[in-house]
């Protein structure tokens, strides 16, 4: 049929921009201290999924075609930013290697003139910043979770120890903050700074695990809401606020900025729901990290919370965080006999539908199709 949706490879749509991403991130992470340099760049060696930068780039392109805001002229981030000078300054100040080699500048600034692409230099830099913040959170997360592997290799805490992994994460946040400040957009700075705080809030909610105590008969119901709030903070905040920031940097109208945010929020929630489902359904080999880790960590995620509504005996196990011998297996059996996994998938699908709905007013474009295809990919992903 002529109106069948065109299948887009979202990666292809922004492939040119993505090609430079890792190299630019590595440049932002250069340190004169050789060990810090190695630890900070460790997770840039393995191929990540780059979901967040890809979303920022796609959103930047998709919103470039929408109406312009009258505030646009007032924004410093929406014009062409002379990134090469500021970036060289980062490197010259901080990295002795590049003082001797002043030619090394950020790739995309050298490779593109503004006419080359509808993506602004500030939006490309935003894509890099989102990946830096995400990677910082992974460095800290792997310490908190006692992880042994990530992206099919030993995790940084195993390779370098907890102290260096934590400090490297802090260093990434520092460099992300410098890059953010150099975008010279206070609203975007505030958004991404809020994301960093939200990540910590989400992680704290997860440490506490449940909102109410076992003696309260309403706590089964309450925990799903608590889980979703935690999930927003831990996963959807970065995706939603960076989509919002991409639209702001592009000079979009308030309506478009809000639509970009809603797309990111709903996709982010779906992304984490699928993640929590895969923890039950996929082998560790395919995941590139140990499977079934959540129950071992004492975490009750969506599949279990839905199962709990059908089988109240899970409450006892949740209350003691699956800590007694046999608890994890017992919980796993109850979840697989329940409709918990099905309900988790259905909820993720609802969020994905909302994400697509949010951007439906955008004019048709390759990038918009890419954003829609990202939703399909999230539902189909196996790692
Ligand atoms: C991965 O979750 C972790 C996160 C999405 C965020 C973790 C946040 C912190 C550790 C707070 C500190 C934040 C910063 C910015 C330094 P997961 O453990 O469920 O997933 P995994 O299976 O990939 O480890
Ligand atoms: Mg983890
Ligand atoms: Mg974790």
- Interface TM-score (ipTM) > 0.85: yes
Q: How far away, in angstroms, is 148 Cα from ligand 2 center?
A: 10
- Residue 209 confidence class, pLDDT cut points 50, 70, 90: low
Q: What percent of the chain has pLDDT over 70?
A: 82
136 lines ligand 1 (CB under 6 A): yes
> Which of 261-275, 304-318, 320-334: highest mean pLDDT?
261-275
If you search the block for the tokens 């409709």, which residue do you land on? 339
Mean pLDDT, to the nearest integer, of 68-96? 47
> Is pLDDT of 28 > 90?
yes
Element containing residue 170 per DSSP (H, E): helix 162-181
Angle between helices 34-41 and 162-181 (to 10 degrees): 80
- Going by C-alpha positions, the residue among 313, 311, 372, 307 that lies closest to residue 343 is 307
Q: Which atom of ligand 1 is nearest to the CA of 202?
A: 8
Q: What integer pLDDT is reported at residue 7 of this predicted model? A: 63
Q: How far away, in angstroms, is 323 Cα from ligand 3 center?
A: 17
137 lines ligand 1 (CB under 6 A): yes
Instruction: Tell which one of 199, 205, 233 to mutate to probe ligand 1, the residue whose CB is within 8 A of the most ligand atoms.
Output: 199
Higher pLDDT, 45 or 128: 128
Q: Which tokens is 123 given?
A: 């939006």
pLDDT in tens, 173-198: 999 999 999 999 999 999 999 999 99
Q: How far away, in angstroms, is 141 Cα from ligand 3 center?
A: 5
268 lines ligand 1 (CB under 6 A): no
Q: How far away, in angstroms, is 225 Cα from ligand 3 center?
A: 19
- Going by C-alpha positions, the residue among 176, 133, 138 that lies closest to residue 156 is 138
Residue 150, classed as helix, strand or coil, is: strand
Q: Report yes or no on whether pTM surpasses 0.90.
A: no
Q: What is the C-alpha to C-alpha distance for residues 263 and 273, in angstroms, rounded to an integer?
A: 16
User: How far is CA 35 from its chain centroid?
Assistant: 26
CB count within 10 Å of CB 365 equals 19
- Residue 87 confidence class, pLDDT cut points 50, 70, 90: very low
196 lines ligand 1 (CB under 6 A): yes
> Over the chain, what is the mean pLDDT?
85
Mean pLDDT, to the nearest integer, of 237-262? 97
Residue nearest to atom 17 of ligand 1 (CA): 141
* 253 touches 68 (CB < 8 A): yes
185 lines ligand 1 (CB under 6 A): no
Mean pLDDT, to the nearest integer, of 5-17? 73
Long-range interactions of 363-367: CB distance < 8 A, separation 24+ = 363/65, 363/66, 365/61, 365/62, 365/65, 366/8, 366/13, 366/61, 367/13, 367/14, 367/58, 367/59, 367/60, 367/61, 367/62, 367/64, 367/65
Mean pLDDT, to the nearest integer, of 335-361? 96
Q: Which tokens is 171 given?
A: 């260093």
């Amino acid at each position: 049929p002529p109106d069948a949706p065109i299948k887009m490879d979202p990666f292809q749509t922004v492939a040119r921009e993505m090609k430079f991403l890792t190299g630019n991130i590595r440049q932002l992470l250069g340190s004169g201290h050789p060990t810090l340099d190695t630890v900070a760049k460790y997770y840039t060696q393995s191929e990540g999924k780059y979901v967040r930068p890809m979303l920022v780039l796609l959103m930047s392109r998709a919103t470039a075609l929408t109406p312009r805001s009258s505030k646009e002229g007032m924004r410093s981030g929406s014009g062409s930013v002379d990134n090469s000078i500021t970036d060289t300054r980062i490197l010259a100040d901080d990295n002795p290697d590049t003082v001797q080699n002043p030619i090394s500048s950020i790739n995309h600034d050298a490779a593109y003139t503004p006419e080359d692409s509808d993506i602004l230099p500030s939006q490309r830099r935003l894509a890099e910043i989102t990946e830096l913040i995400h990677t910082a959170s992974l460095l800290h997360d792997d310490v908190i979770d006692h992880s042994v592997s990530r992206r099919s290799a030993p995790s940084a805490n195993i390779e370098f120890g907890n102290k260096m992994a934590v400090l490297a994460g802090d260093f990434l946040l520092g460099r992300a903050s410098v890059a953010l400040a150099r975008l010279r957009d206070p609203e975007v700075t505030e958004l991404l700074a809020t994301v960093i705080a939200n990540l910590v809030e989400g992680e704290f909610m997860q440490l506490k695990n449940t909102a109410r105590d076992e003696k309260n008969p309403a706590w089964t119901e309450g925990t799903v809401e608590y889980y979703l709030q935690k999930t927003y903070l831990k996963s959807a905040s970065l995706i939603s606020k960076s989509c919002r920031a991409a639209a702001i940097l592009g000079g979009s109208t308030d309506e478009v900025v809000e639509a970009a945010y809603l797309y990111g929020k709903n996709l982010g929630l779906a992304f984490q729901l699928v993640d929590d489902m895969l923890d039950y359904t996929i082998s560790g080999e395919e995941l590139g990290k140990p499977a079934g880790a959540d129950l071992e960590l004492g975490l009750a995620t969506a599949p279990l919370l839905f199962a709990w509504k059908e089988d109240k005996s899970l409450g006892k196990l949740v209350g003691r965080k699956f800590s007694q011998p046999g608890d994890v297996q017992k919980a796993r059996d109850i979840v697989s006999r329940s409709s918990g996994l099905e309900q988790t998938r259905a909820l993720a699908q609802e969020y994905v539908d909302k994400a697509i709905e949010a951007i439906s007013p955008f004019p048709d474009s390759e990038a918009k199709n890419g954003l829609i295809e990202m939703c399909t990919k999230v539902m189909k992903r196996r790692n």
